[in-house]
Amino acid sequence: MEKETKEITPPSTPPTHTDEEKNNKDIEENLIFQKSLTENLNSRFYNNNNNENKNDKNNNIDYKNYKSLKDFSYYYNDQMQLRSIDGEEKFKFVNQEHYDRLGDVIVTTIQDMMKSEPYNLNEIWIPEKSENETENENFAQSNIFLSKDFYDNSENLMVLINGSGAVKSGQWARSLCINDSLNSGTILPYLKEAKDNGFSIIVLNPNFNYIEESSSSSNEKSNDNDEPLKKKKKVERQYVKGSESSQNHVLYVFDHFISKSPAKKIIIVAHSFGGVNTCHLLDNRAEKIENRLAGIALTDSVHSISSKSNQFTKSFFGNQDKTINFIRSEEEVGTDLGFSKPQGCRIASAGHTIHEFTSAFCKVPLFNFILKIIK
């Protein structure tokens, strides 16, 4: 029976609008897309047995006081899978607050791994505090990570950019870190491969844009009995200077770090909305990066190339020897899927049909593509 041929459609791309409208629409659509995928993953991976009888009790727990995986009665086993300390069971969904706080603790766990053997990355907080700012002052900062040879390696630099949403530096997909493994949900396998091949490394953190502070509202009198109304907590956001948005973050990190690397060749690896931020970087720093940018490898990127993209961005993405996007597909991993006109670049199969899994499944052909460029 002859195999049915289907037109390969790259990840959904927005129509052409103004730059601000385009970016906002990209963010909104991608967050909705990721939420839908997360819900699908939850239905496959969550073990919700016997949770219904515990809901009332669990809803009264303040998970903000939980600081470690042990507090949640979980740990990561030798296969990098999240398991319960008692019973070796998979993650059980309790409620959204429990899930989100566990996600925060997992971020810290992953970043602690990144700073330890065998990766040994340095954690840098940005922007740095000036001399007139004391440690006691509330100062919004986000963190990025550099390899120890970042300022010494004059050959090759790898820039790692994750997607949008809840993921922080070190993660490809939070849901996979919880429901599958750190091998599929984090950049750790990429760090090892990059280090083994002599790259210096910088890991960006485009979604860490602000910190939140809670404050109580002023006491107001009710009209009935002149008793003070119950104080309500007001959450205020303090934005990280230079990283108020993912686009600002990418430019800030380039100006203050990437541009100061001595590496002759720069390779960008980006997932999902990280491809949009990569386009933003090329559009705004073309003259400063064009002589050193050697290649771009994307995993299910949601970017688009339009008439508003500058000539350097168009030409670099259009060079099939320098840019590739591994998209979700039923085809065998690495299969050439031609050229995407909306995305202005070569596309290939990531070997998986689910967005979050693409980075993990296409790692081998992705690095083969990169290594061919730098040799």
**What is the pTM assigned to this prediction?**
0.83
**Ramachandran quadrant class, 87 (left: phi over 0; alpha: psi -120 to 50; beta: rest):** left
Residues 346, 34, 354, 158: is their CA dihedral positive or negative? positive
pLDDT in tens, 307-338: 999 999 999 999 999 999 999 999 999 999 99
What's the full length of the chain, in residues? 375
Q: What pLDDT, on a 0 to 100 scale, did the predictor assign at position 128?
A: 87
The structure tokens listed for 366 are 């992705």
367 burial (CB, 10 Å; 0-12 / 13-18 / 19+) is buried
Residue 231 clears pLDDT 90, i.e. is over it = no
Please state, in angstroms and rounded to a whole number, the distance separating the CA atoms of residues 364 and 360.
Answer: 9
Distance set, CA 118 to CA 80, 115, 148, 193, 194 (Å): 15, 9, 12, 11, 12
Please state, in angstroms and rounded to a whole number, the distance separating the CA atoms of residues 327 and 362.
Answer: 9
Q: What pLDDT, on a 0 to 100 scale, did the predictor assign at position 229?
A: 52
pLDDT class for 62, splitting at 50, 70, 90? confident
| Residues near 50 by beta carbon (within 8 Å), at least 6 away in sequence | none
Domains of the chain (ranges, CATH numbers): 120-128+141-213+231-374 (3.40.50)
| Residues near 74 by beta carbon (within 8 Å), at least 6 away in sequence | 82, 83, 84, 85, 91, 102
